[in-house]
Structure 1
Amino acid sequence: MEAAKDMQIQEMKAPRLVMFPLPFQGHINPMIQLATLLHSKGFSITIIHTHFNAPNPSNFPNFHFECISDGLSNDQALNLEPLTLASILNETCQVPFEDCLSRLLSDGTDGLIKCIITDVVLHFTGAVAKKWGLPRIVLRTNSASSSGAVAAYKLRQEKGNISIKDQQPDALVSEFLPLRIKDLPDYSLTDPEMLERLVANVKNSTKASSGFIVNTFDSIEASALEKFRKGYHPLPIFAIGPLHKFSPGASNSLLKQDHSCITWLDKQAPHSVMYVSFGSLASINKTDVVEIAWGLANSDQAFLWVVRPGSIRGDDWVELPEGFEEKTRERGWIVKWAPQQEVLAHPSVGGFWTHNGWNSTLESICEGVPMLCCPYLWDQKVNARYVSYVWRVGLQLENGFERGEMEWAIRRLMVETEGKEIRERVSGLKENAISCLRRGGSSHESLESLIDLIMSF
């Protein structure tokens, strides 16, 4: 039946999907993965994107790309706090997006536009889609469980008890278990009124959409997805993650990947290497770098460490402490950026020291790699709480960067009995992730339902 459906789509002039990601690495990749998946089902794909963090069209010759103005210089965009940038893009991109969509509709040479699929944060696209009479489906790129974090933040704010530095940072947020006060996102750098407007606009725009795609799978987020379905009823919710396993290799790295680390990993023993990477946005200070370096060195474990340009506040690169290289020369490798999915799938990798962005968390689970959690921003704290406390497939660093704590945590994860038990649990989640993608699995069935909805438009 599935093959017949694909053939039916291919026999007609390829129906076109217009897709628009939020221009951050963690949002672009899932949208590209979704586009690749839908293209494999017979759809023609047009990607609309901003000048800022523009994807490289040559990496995806089967897609058509349209670049629109975001009204910002690259320096302006880079220097804005991400939530502020998202709010600005919702204002500056509306007219360029509408003009681009108008051109595409009048052209019509690449097939009838069935619908547009946009990042959920780009709420202005709802009004544009309505103007042109087009169905709009939204993609949520973070976890379903993290949706309660903003609501919990607002609730605690109303109670006058929001600061994670208050007297009881370990206290549970009873309305949003299992979150603690300190697991709530810190939006102190964001204008509260701007944040409230953004959240309200996103929610209203989503409720008016034709469908909601979530990059997750039922067996790890069943409860959160049930809340979604109740909260957005009768809007159809499609949990079709993990998208990167549906569309392997369909990522758009904004930084050049250093594949030398794979050759180095080939020489290491199975499950012996701690992979360290804090994502594409997080930044740390020089003191933290020194503590991380000595935590790795003193753990006596092999490591692959990603030190991204710009990740050290005030420097593109940082000199590592004297004696570090000599102590770790035979068991350490440092790169500016790594092919993360390939790294996590490598048999020598035994742990992932991560910021717990949702993409990284999913990628680690899907390869059965235990995590050492060090969250920074937004939903990362929520993800880390679920990894360490609910799913119990990692350990969380609770007290910042202190070399002694890091040394002990690395050893607990990599060589102690506790780490072996964690590996067994994450291997179980890996099997669940694989199962959900197979025919009859929850994500596979959700994908089929999504295609049925698109073809009904």
Structure 2
Amino acid sequence: MAAREKKGPHAILIAYPLQGHLIPSVHLAINLASRGFTITFVNTYSIHHQTTKAINGNCSGEDIFAAARESGLDIRYDTVSDGLPVELDRSLNHDEFMSGLVDLMPAHVEKLVAKIMQQSSPPVTCLVVDTFFVWGSPIAKKFGLLCVSFWTEPALVYTLYYHMDLLKKNGHFACQDNRKDPIDYIPGVKTIEPKDLTSYLQDDDANTWLHQLIFAAFNDVRGADFVLCNTVQELEPQVIEALQSYKPFYAIGPIFPRGFTNNATVATSLWSESDCTQWLNSKPHGSVLYASFGSYAHITKTALWEIANGLLLSNVSFVWVLRPDIVSSNDVDPLPVGFKEAVRGRGMIIHWCSQTQVLTHPAIGGFLTHCGWNSILESIWCEVPLLCFPLLTDQFTNRKLVVDDWKIGINLIDNQMVVTKEEVLKNVNRFMDEKIRNQLKATMGGIKKKLEYALGPGGSCEKNMECFVKELNAKSNIIASVSTD
């Protein structure tokens, strides 16, 4: 029993209830647990129901970390209400969902944290919360815990939000007529075009509830003791160095599961996965375009039809992930009439899949993506070039990194405001041309080496994680000694 009391830190980790945030949160939990942490991982009721239903066909699953715990990791599992009924369609009621996370969820979290602290051994050390939760710091301080803010997007996106005041002051954001000239005053960022800011920072009106959420989140993060970022120091060195002048900011990415594709032990999919392996096995090496617009962003039916018709005209083989609510939960079959029949044998259309499993298949030659950060990191690791079609939030900034800075992808649409089947046809064919893809893959190989180095012995991921754990323990010991005086 005495040995157990000497165990490492105990972290309560609360995952933001969107799949793009859930996946790296799960991997972070496993990473920390493998370093001797006790982790109490918290999902919302609604996410728990979705993930267990997706894997079991029902909602009876009790603990998504059961298999991980059998491997020797001390990961406990709990659930909390986000303040809304589980059966509410959060995709159709997006504003209500987001406002609930701000106004209703904190009271439930406080109650759960109090319960965990009373019942758990070893004692809880810190609270790890997604940066977009606006209440992390005050709840942590109420219970005498250290607050660790977890940022799941690039450091470039973080620093743009962190410096919203500078963007406002210089007239590039939240003005009646935002300036359109390049931005060259953000610390650690050489220059960035206004069109490459996140979608919310391109708005003239910053009085929406969503902008208020972002303002509150980046006010709250100033009270955090540490920031962990799922990025790679070798990819964003200047930005990260500038951010480290404000508070301990650790680039600990890429946060991948062991073996990369070995993520089946923890349920993170919100929909049942289709297996594309047999179909892909029938296709030539590098001939298939994988298309997915992620787990959250929506697309208009008009744009979807233009992309569909462009793919139809291209004669390129493709796997297209179209989740059930890609346009709306009320429109479960949004494709053009006759499209599925017209591409039969050449195109496979599914609701969801294991993306890492598809990307590692040799038949995949490219990825038509919304530029979600998880998708970009996974594509780099698999050396699959990117055809970029950003839809929302950080995806516009991520596109800049992929196309303009790292040169590992091209744009689907040159003018991101207008989608036409002709331009889709032109750029799909250009992208899938063997010569173009080989050029992109050659560049991507150099970027992948940076990820491999970061994850290897002595790499930045390992060094930064060790530094974080050391600093966390040191600060915890100081707090403990003060509280016992």
Q: TM-score, normalised by structure 2?
A: 0.83
CA deviation after TM superposition for structure 1 residue 198, in Å: 3.3
Matched with 2:38 is: 44
Q: Does 1:354 align with 2:359?
A: no
SS at match of 1:375: coil
Distance 2:290 2:90 in 1: 30
Structure 1: gaps of 5 or more residues: 1-7
Distance 1:398 1:165 in 2: 26
CA deviation after TM superposition for structure 1 residue 318, in Å: 2.7
Q: Does 1:102 align with 2:117?
A: no
Structure 2: gaps of 5 or more residues: 53-61, 70-74, 477-485
CA deviation after TM superposition for structure 1 residue 44, in Å: 2.1
CA deviation after TM superposition for structure 1 residue 9, in Å: 9.1
Matched with 2:23 is: 29
Q: Deviations over 1:328-378 (max 9, x none)?
A: 323221111011011111121111100011111111111111101100111
CA deviation after TM superposition for structure 1 residue 22, in Å: 1.1
Matched with 2:183 is: 173
Greater displacement, 367-376 / 14-23: 14-23
148, 153, 175: which one aligns with 1:142: 153
* Contact 2:367–2:386, Cα closer than 8 Å, also in 1: yes
CA deviation after TM superposition for structure 1 residue 196, in Å: 5.2
Matched with 1:283 is: 298
Matched with 1:435 is: 453
Q: Does 1:317 align with 2:333?
A: yes
432, 441, 447: which one aligns with 2:465: 447
Greater displacement, 149-158 / 207-216: 149-158
Q: Does 1:208 align with 2:218?
A: no
- Report 1:158-197 matches (<5 A): 171-175=181-185, 178-187=191-200, 192=207, 194-195=209-210, 197=212
Q: Does 1:64 align with 2:58?
A: no
- Over 3 Å counting, the alpha-carbon distance change for 1:11 and 1:224 in structure 2 is same
Q: Does 1:368 align with 2:383?
A: yes
* Contact 2:15–2:130, Cα closer than 8 Å, also in 1: yes
Amino acid at match of 2:182: L
- Over 3 Å counting, the alpha-carbon distance change for 1:276 and 1:417 in structure 2 is same
- Over 3 Å counting, the alpha-carbon distance change for 1:450 and 1:255 in structure 2 is same
Count of aligned residue pairs for this structure pair: 442
Distance 1:73 1:80 in 2: 12
Identical residues among aligned pairs (%): 30
Q: Deviations over 1:244-264 (max 9, x none)?
A: 2557415611111111x1221
Matched with 2:130 is: 119
Greater displacement, 371-380 / 33-42: 33-42
- Over 3 Å counting, the alpha-carbon distance change for 1:39 and 1:9 in structure 2 is farther
Distance 1:9 1:311 in 2: 51
* Contact 2:83–2:100, Cα closer than 8 Å, also in 1: no
Distance 1:246 1:449 in 2: 21
* Contact 2:292–2:368, Cα closer than 8 Å, also in 1: yes
* Contact 2:172–2:178, Cα closer than 8 Å, also in 1: no
Q: Deviations over 1:384-426 (max 9, x none)?
A: 1111101111111233321121112112222153332111111
Greater displacement, 361-370 / 392-401: 392-401
Distance 2:118 2:174 in 1: 52
Q: TM-score, normalised by structure 1?
A: 0.88
Greater displacement, 19-28 / 155-164: 155-164
Amino acid at match of 1:103: K
119, 130, 151: which one aligns with 2:141: 130
